[in-house]
Amino acid sequence: MPRGRLRVYLGAAPGVGKTYDMLEEGQRRAARGTDVVIALVEDHGRLPTRRMAEGLETVPRRTLTYRGTEFTEMDLDAVLARRPALALVDELAHTNVPGSRHGKRWQDVEDLLDAGIDVITTVNIQHLESLNDVVEQITGTRQHETVPDDVVRRADQIEVVDMSAEALRRRMANGDVYPPERIEAALTHFFRIGNLTALREIALLWAADRVEEALLRYRHGHGIQRPWSTRERVLVALSGGPEGETLVRRAKRIASRGAGGEFLAVHVTRDDGLAGAPPARLARQRALVEELGGTWHTVRGEHPARAVVDLARRVDATQIVIGATRHSRLRNILRRGTGEAVIEASGDDIDVYVVTHSEAAHGRLLRRRPRR
């Protein structure tokens, strides 16, 4: 039996319209003849959301009693028995009431998918496990309900539901998100402009990584070598010379020009056993790369230029940064340098930046041989 397909509406914050969009998609599918049911939807009293659910079949919830209080949860067994083509399941990170088959709703969704049922679900960016600490630092609020990132990343489709911070605050003030008694506290704390802006950026960057994973799988599956990057990714080649820190800082600035840009550093060690760069200097340069948020790579190769370009293609780099040669003009004439080889091998799909530096300007002249 083929596994069901999962579609996730990823919200930058509560109130952006994830549940509404999920129901709207369910209505479109139903209008095309798909067998759609609402397995569980939380409308939180929002009238537009409630109206969007009208006309769709709803599987009754299961009632459980915990510590003398009654709660309702999605009736997993009833949905499996109903066996629709598509189930709408809200709030993927929800923690089920004790006594349920699973502790988390995302585990219920896994059962539906394993049964061959397609699922559309919703989750907010602050509920992803890997971002829990980051969101707490930004908002001051700890999220106790989380979902593993891998569960969401395995989705066949992820759609970010976005809204500007100002528009979301207007929705909040108009009572379209929370009841009146919660509005003032929400606007003062979690829904501050700075918090919402940061959460939007995090959601877009997290989704961009997911897009790159899909593109990389497609490229490998179809034997496509040309990079398809969705963001600037800068690779700086370090020989271990004194100019390394200058190159690292320049690569960082280039990567920072666009949202979500990142940079990597590579040092090539030779296969011929010749002495390499001073270890202490390489250690300092690696520490600087990591301090600035980059990643360090060491590769072995007989031809440094080829090794640099090969790595650039493997990591989908859009640009390579190299230093201008420290050799004299005479030596450049007599011997082809690594920089020229990198430029030639990069082709027309990877840009190469040659950075000048003080060390290049003071290259030592070679002793000239007498003319015959």
Q: What is the CATH number of the domain that holds 174?
A: 3.40.50.300
Percent of the chain past pLDDT 90, that is, above it, reads 41
How high is the pLDDT of residue 364?
35
CATH of residue 271's domain is 3.40.50.620
How high is the pLDDT of residue 368?
31
H helix runs in 323-364, sequence order: 329-334, 338-346, 358-361
For the ranges 32-36, 149-153, 294-298, 333-337, the one whose mean pLDDT is highest: 32-36
Who wins on pLDDT, 360 or 304? 304
Q: Specify the number of domains making up the chain.
A: 2
Confidence band, pLDDT 50/70/90 cuts, at residue 42 = very high
Task: With respect to residue 318, please indicate whether it lies within any of the assigned structural domains.
Answer: yes
Task: With respect to residue 227, please indicate whether it lies within any of the assigned structural domains.
Answer: no
Q: Are residues 216 and 239 in the same domain?
A: no
242 burial (CB, 10 Å; 0-12 / 13-18 / 19+) is middle
Who wins on pLDDT, 217 or 239? 239
Q: How many CB atoms lie within 10 A of CB 360?
A: 17
Q: Are residues 329 and 309 in the same domain?
A: yes
Task: With respect to residue 366, please indicate whether it lies within any of the assigned structural domains.
Answer: no
Q: Are residues 259 and 195 in the same domain?
A: no
Q: Are residues 44 and 185 in the same domain?
A: yes
Task: With respect to residue 201, please indicate whether it lies within any of the assigned structural domains.
Answer: yes
Q: Are residues 244 and 157 in the same domain?
A: no
CA distance 355 to 249: 11
- Provide CB contacts within 8 A for 94, sequence distance 6+: 104, 105, 145
Q: Are residues 69 and 212 in the same domain?
A: yes
CB 311 within 8 A of CB 229: no
Show the domain range for 351. 233-361
Confidence band, pLDDT 50/70/90 cuts, at residue 255 = confident
Calculate the average pLDDT of the chain. Answer: 84
Who wins on pLDDT, 345 or 28? 28
Q: Are residues 57 and 145 in the same domain?
A: yes
CA distance 370 to 184: 86
Structure confidence by residue, pLDDT tens digits, 310-348:
888 888 888 999 987 655 454 444 345 677 788 888 876
Task: With respect to residue 149, please indicate whether it lies within any of the assigned structural domains.
Answer: yes
The pLDDT of 189-210, averaged and rounded, is 83
Tokens of 23: 């129901």
Confidence band, pLDDT 50/70/90 cuts, at residue 225 = low
Last residue of a domain, one of 221, 252, 269: 221
For the ranges 99-103, 194-198, 242-246, 276-280, the one whose mean pLDDT is highest: 99-103
Task: With respect to residue 315, please indicate whether it lies within any of the assigned structural domains.
Answer: yes
Who wins on pLDDT, 258 or 253? 253
Q: How many CB atoms lie within 10 A of CB 203?
A: 23
Structure confidence by residue, pLDDT tens digits, 67-114:
999 999 999 999 999 999 999 999 999 999 999 999 999 999 999 999
Q: Given 3-state DSSP classes, what are the helix, strand and coil percentages for the chain, each rounded to the nearest 5?
A: 40, 20, 40
Least confident of 99-113, 176-190, 255-269: 255-269
DSSP structure string for 106-146: HHHHHHHHHTT-EEEEEEEGGGBGGGHHHHHHHHS------
- Provide CB contacts within 8 A for 344, sequence distance 6+: none
β-pairing, 351-355 with 69-73?
Answer: unpaired
How high is the pLDDT of residue 362?
42
Task: With respect to residue 144, please indicate whether it lies within any of the assigned structural domains.
Answer: yes
CA distance 244 to 286: 10
For the whole prediction, is pTM greater than 0.85? Answer: no
How high is the pLDDT of residue 331?
46
